[in-house]
Amino acid sequence: EVQLVESGGGLVQPGGSLKISCAGSGFTFGTYWMDWVRQAPGKGLEWVANIKSDGSAEHYVDSVKGRFTISRDNTKSSVFLQMNSLRVEDTAIYYCARESREGQFFDQWGRGALVTVSS
């Protein structure tokens, strides 16, 4: 069974940093692009970033460029999101998602990690 499990969420002050993780199992992790998608309270889904299967390419939504960094460790079947200079508007549930082999849509999702940015 394919599983994606996020961890590392929590409360952080504005301007602070946090790193969240996602552990994959039940599939050949190192052959898939992986993404982070977030949902702010009362809002819809927003794509945040993705990373190529071998880690050689990454892309970001403009609102997090220069502040967030996506990375992966295929030996540990894990993908990470390092979040710096956090803002109140970054408060959201952050979902880890696997891209399909057939294109940039998401065929597996985790249950999410809550990140709260507040003083």
Partner 1 sequence: IVLTQSPATLSSSPGERVTLSCRTSENVLTYLAWYQHKPGQAPRLLIYDASNRATGVPARFSGSGSGTDFTLTISSLEPEDFAVYYCQQRINWPPLTFGGGTRVEIK
Q: Which is nearer to partner 1, 105 or 119 (CB)?
A: 105
Q: Give the tokens for residue 19.
A: 């790193």
Binding site for partner 1 (CB under 8 A): 4, 35, 37, 44-47, 50, 59-62, 95, 97, 100, 102-107, 109-112
Q: How far is the CB of 16 from partner 1 (least distance, A)?
A: 25
Q: Which is nearer to partner 1, 56 or 75 (CB)?
A: 56
Per-position b or e across 8-31, b if 16+ CB within 10 A of its CB: ebeebeeeeebebbbbbeeeebee
Q: Virtual CA dihedral for 64, 84, 46, 73, nearest 10 degrees? A: 100
Q: Which is nearer to partner 1, 20 or 37 (CB)?
A: 37
